[in-house]
A and B are shown apart, each in its own frame.
Chain A
Amino acid sequence: MQKTQHFKPVQFIIEVGILVVIFTLVQYLISAGLLNQYYQINLASICINIILAVSLNLINGFTGQLSLGHAGFMAVGAYASVIMTTYMELPFIVGIIAACLAAALAGFIIGVPTLRLRGDYLAIATLGFGEIIRVVLQNIDYVNGPAGIMGISKLSTWPWLFGSVVITILVIVNLVNSSYGRAIISVREDEVAAELMGVNTTKYKVLAFVVGAMFAGLAGALYAHYFYIIKPETFNFMKSFDILVMVVLGGLGSTTGAIIAAIFITVLTAALQSFPAIRMILYAVILVTVMIYRPQGLMGNRELGRRTFGRLWGDKK
């Protein structure tokens, strides 16, 4: 997989440069009014979905633990942040931190008992927990039950969205490309062998679950503060499924695959907004086609990145 890592200042500067250019360009387009509302909403959705897909990929793709409760963690984050900003009128950053912590805590509480289960059993258990979170929220009057919370101020501006995406990807890529990441991947490859080679598999499963949940919480906070309104119904298991589709489509265990698929699905969903029925059919057709012709997903477990581009530039790996 990855080579031994050295710090490469030139590469670092180039990469930071690319990020700055993307950020400034979009920021300019927004402030100059060249990007209309429709595109802005889609841009926000793309950012939120990238965070969701990349974080779920850590759990499903790298750790190999099939989790179907990601929307539940997103809900925890959304509600935690809204309580901070709208109820307590604290700044957005407090809401974001609260969202991450609350979702991570929920991930821990759910992860410790369920991660003893494997495969299908884990999928069902996480699905159940995701639904429990939703039903609990529906029954708490403090957050208006099924009606949800309205009138959330729109605080998820482009800098917040972009920054969150970058941080999510950076943290997860750095985690995966380290000794801890290799331990996480070994759980997916062969849990028994990993355990016998000294890897505390439970610990790393919980770690991946908590980190994944934390970023789902972040996505929830950004979502709540972009779309003004949250209600428990938004975070039902169909939402978890949407995220799972992105991860599987992109390729389990490929961060770039998750990003590409998140963008693709979001754009597709937006393009077919006026035909919701067709959207679901097309979803299914695309998935079936990909599973038949490319069961490992678009990217497999490969990454599109430095090495690929390096090769294009004639750089020997």
Chain B
Amino acid sequence: MSVMIIEHLHKSFGGLSAVLDFNAYLEEQELIGLIGPNGAGKTTVFNLITGVYKPDEGTIRFAGQNITGLPPYEICSRGIARTFQNIRLFKDLTVLDNVRIALHKDVQYPLLSAVFRSPGFFKGEADIRKKADEFLEIFNLADKRDEIASNLPYGEQRRLEIARALATHPRLLILDEPAAGMNPQETAELMELIRSIRQQFNLTILLIEHDMSLVMGVCERIYVLDYGQIIAEGSPEEIRNNKRVIEAYLGEEVS
């Protein structure tokens, strides 16, 4: 069953059509890549899905419900989480607090119990702390929990962003260029990480990436976007040999 169905999505900025008649579906627990040249509208699609932008036309259905035009926090609570192309951590807060903020939407105690420090507050806070630690453990960040996020090395900031996104308990995880700025070694580790969290959390994952080794390595199905339109869809093998994709994006093999 498709967890997400996007139909006739359209978004323009002034006279520029950033996304034109975008149609896509995501199967449960699938790992899908969205690739294309710079400026093709990939991030705009992500922003439309997560509610940062409202589409001009079209519908986005997630888990059988129409989520088109809902505010971002509402879309997040329905089970869609994302990372950002340019890292957007809460950079002056600690690693732990970054994850705890993502856990806030499931907070177990009411506001007044925080103000009056009722037993429920202490229990709720202990729960949040325990859950946050679990996520930090998975991402190998546990011993950095008290560090300020912006002091982490780049690769760890990327990992923390994924940890924070996962802490919102998503069904669909959207990664915007997760390997950007990583060396081949780090990219390989990231691929491993992406595979393992999909297993562990039963996730559907949609990712944008320019690193073809990662895209071809982990994605089961790929959409190719150019000038706001899908020009190809298929398995990595099909995409690699698709004439239009080679023309628009991948380029000819130089022998």
Q: From residue B102, how far is it (CB to closest CB) to chain A in Å?
A: 5
- Say yes or no: A182 contacts B88, CB within 8 Å: no
Residues of A within 8 A of B115 (CB): 171, 174-175
Residues facing A in B100-145 (CB within 8 A) are: 100-105, 107, 109, 111, 114-117, 121-122, 124-126, 128-129
Answer yes or no: B240 CB below 8 A from chain A CBs: no
A179-B104, A182-B104, A196-B50 known; A189-B77 Cβ under 8 A: no
The complex places the Cα of A183 from the Cα of B111 at a distance, in Å, of 12
Residues of A within 8 A of B90 (CB): 185-186, 189-190, 193-194
Residues facing B in A181-214 (CB within 8 A) are: 181-183, 185-186, 189-190, 192-201, 207
Q: From residue A317, how far is it (CB to closest CB) to chain B in Å?
A: 10
Interface string of B77-100 (1 = CB under 8 A from A): 100011010001111111001001
- Say yes or no: A178 contacts B125, CB within 8 Å: yes
Answer yes or no: B204 CB below 8 A from chain A CBs: no
Q: Which of B4-12, B22-30, B68-76 contacts A (4 or more CB under 8 A)?
A: B68-76
- Say yes or no: A190 contacts B88, CB within 8 Å: yes
A171 — nearest CB in chain B belongs to which residue? B115
Q: Which of A1, A178, A181 gathers most chain B CB within 10 Å?
A: A178
Residues of A within 8 A of B129 (CB): 4
Residues of B within 8 A of A195 (CB): 71-73, 76
- Say yes or no: B102 contacts A197, CB within 8 Å: yes
- Say yes or no: B105 contacts A198, CB within 8 Å: yes
Answer yes or no: A293 CB below 8 A from chain B CBs: no
Residues of A within 8 A of B100 (CB): 179, 182
- Say yes or no: A179 contacts B125, CB within 8 Å: yes
- Say yes or no: A196 contacts B122, CB within 8 Å: no
Answer yes or no: A6 CB below 8 A from chain B CBs: yes
Residues of B within 8 A of A183 (CB): 101, 104
Residues of A within 8 A of B94 (CB): 1
- Say yes or no: A192 contacts B105, CB within 8 Å: no
Interface string of A270-294 (1 = CB under 8 A from B): 0000000000000000000000000
A179-B128, A196-B52, A198-B77 known; A174-B117 Cβ under 8 A: yes
Residue from the list A178, A192, A301 in contact with B88, Cβ < 8 A: A192
A198-B73, A198-B168 known; A179-B102 Cβ under 8 A: no
Q: From residue A209, how far is it (CB to closest CB) to chain B in Å?
A: 14
A170 — nearest CB in chain B belongs to which residue? B115
- Say yes or no: A180 contacts B114, CB within 8 Å: yes
Answer yes or no: B164 CB below 8 A from chain A CBs: yes
- Say yes or no: A174 contacts B104, CB within 8 Å: no
The complex places the Cα of A196 from the Cα of B173 at a distance, in Å, of 12
The complex places the Cα of A311 from the Cα of B143 at a distance, in Å, of 22
Residues of A within 8 A of B88 (CB): 190, 192-193
Q: Which of B73, B111, B121 gathers most chain A CB within 10 Å?
A: B73
The complex places the Cα of A6 from the Cα of B121 at a distance, in Å, of 10
- Say yes or no: B93 contacts A193, CB within 8 Å: no
The complex places the Cα of A287 from the Cα of B105 at a distance, in Å, of 39
Residues of A within 8 A of B77 (CB): 198
B100 — nearest CB in chain A belongs to which residue? A182
Residue from the list B73, B93, B103, B165 in contact with A189, Cβ < 8 A: B93
Q: From residue A163, how far is it (CB to closest CB) to chain B in Å?
A: 16
The complex places the Cα of A185 from the Cα of B77 at a distance, in Å, of 19
Q: Which of A5, A174, A193 gathers most chain B CB within 10 Å?
A: A193
The complex places the Cα of A186 from the Cα of B97 at a distance, in Å, of 9
Answer yes or no: A142 CB below 8 A from chain B CBs: no
The complex places the Cα of A196 from the Cα of B80 at a distance, in Å, of 9
- Say yes or no: A197 contacts B122, CB within 8 Å: no
Answer yes or no: A7 CB below 8 A from chain B CBs: yes
Q: From residue B188, how far is it (CB to closest CB) to chain A in Å?
A: 28
- Say yes or no: B128 contacts A193, CB within 8 Å: no
Residue from the list A6, A185, A197 in contact with B76, Cβ < 8 A: A197
The complex places the Cα of A175 from the Cα of B116 at a distance, in Å, of 9
The complex places the Cα of A189 from the Cα of B100 at a distance, in Å, of 14
- Say yes or no: B125 contacts A5, CB within 8 Å: yes
Chain B interfacial positions (CB closer than 8 Å to A): 50-52, 71-73, 76-77, 81-82, 84, 88-94, 97, 100-105, 107, 109, 111, 114-117, 121-122, 124-126, 128-129, 164-165, 168
Known contacts A1-B97, A174-B115, A196-B82; 4 further A-B pairs (Cβ under 8 A): A179-B104, A179-B107, A194-B90, A197-B164
